[in-house]
């Protein structure tokens, strides 16, 4: 719907977000008592006409939040091994798409049933006004025996102690032409761990190992990219 609206009011519509919050339900028995652990993983928004996409917020609007790690681990038979932002996952643009969220759970009791609803695994969050799409989502089961199973957006599975569910949400799409983003903003993302030096080249910005912009190399690369873009048009 937003993509359609962007054709009418392009300067008022953000790029696509993560496709909706992820639902993960863990259920089973611990010490003979049944349990249901319902996890709602809220994600990220697309780049906006006036600013970057938000990281780690329910999209587009909802009064929801992720369960704190300490609460989850103290109240349910689960261990959360990682919870954080994913570098390079936001679509490039004048305003970068929000970064994806990833969360990793390890179960500790036998016969745990996992049910998942997620989105944007096949169709990446689109960019607008020349922005690039965000990274796709994915689901993986890492079994205690070392095997790895790639899972679809919606699935159910039986887990045993030591099995791990690794979920990565999609990143938001970018808004606007990446070559129009200020090199200083790109360098700040690199220093903040949101963007790698390699991914900075999506914006035609060259950054040294010290995190400092190489002005001459950046100007040359941007001029070359703009000539290529104009020739395609």
User: Do residues 212 and 197 lie in contact, with contact meaning Cβ atoms separated by under 8 Å?
Assistant: no
User: Do residues 147 and 104 lie in contact, with contact meaning Cβ atoms separated by under 8 Å?
Assistant: no
Give domain limits for the chain.
2-177, 182-233
CB atoms closer than 10 angstroms to residue 198? 10
User: 36 has which bridge partners?
Assistant: 27
Which strand (E) or helix (H) includes residue 85?
Answer: strand 78-86
CA distance 169 to 113: 21
pLDDT in tens, the chain (233 residues): 888 999 999 999 999 999 888 999 999 999 889 999 999 898 899 999 999 999 888 766 667 778 899 999 999 999 999 999 999 999 999 999 999 999 999 999 999 999 999 999 999 999 999 999 999 999 999 999 999 999 999 999 999 999 999 999 999 999 999 999 999 999 999 999 999 999 999 999 999 988 899 999 999 999 999 888 776 66
- Asked whether the CA dihedral 215, 219, 225, 226 is positive or negative, the reply is positive
CA geometry: angle 44, 90, 79, nearest 5 deg: 55
CA distance 154 to 98: 23
pTM of the predicted structure, to 2 decimals: 0.90
CA distance 49 to 10: 8
Instruction: Name the residue with tokens 């689109």.
Output: 126
């Amino acid at each position: 719907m937003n993509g359609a609206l962007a054709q009418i009011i392009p300067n008022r519509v953000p790029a696509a977000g993560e496709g909706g919050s992820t639902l993960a339900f863990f259920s089973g028995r611990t010490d003979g008592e049944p349990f249901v652990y319902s996890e709602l993983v809220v994600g990220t928004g697309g780049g906006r006409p006036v600013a970057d996409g938000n990281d780690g917020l329910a999209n587009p609007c909802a009064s929801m939040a992720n369960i704190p790690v300490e609460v989850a681990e103290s109240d349910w038979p689960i261990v959360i091994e990682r919870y954080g932002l994913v570098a390079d996952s936001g679509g490039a643009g004048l305003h970068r798409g929000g970064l994806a969220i990833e969360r990793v759970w390890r179960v500790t009791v036998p016969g745990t049933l996992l049910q998942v609803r997620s989105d944007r695994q096949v169709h990446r969050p689109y960019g607008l006004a020349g922005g690039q799409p965000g990274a796709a989502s994915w689901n993986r089961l890492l079994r205690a025996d070392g095997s790895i199973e790639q899972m679809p957006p919606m699935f159910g599975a039986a887990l045993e102690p030591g099995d791990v569910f690794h979920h990565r949400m999609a990143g938001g799409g970018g808004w606007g032409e990446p070559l129009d983003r200020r090199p200083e903003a790109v360098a700040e993302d690199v220093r903040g761990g949101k963007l790698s030096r390699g991914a900075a080249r999506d914006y035609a910005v060259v950054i040294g190992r010290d995190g400092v912009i190489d002005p001459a190399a950046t100007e040359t690369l941007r001029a070359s990219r703009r000539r290529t873009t104009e020739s395609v048009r």
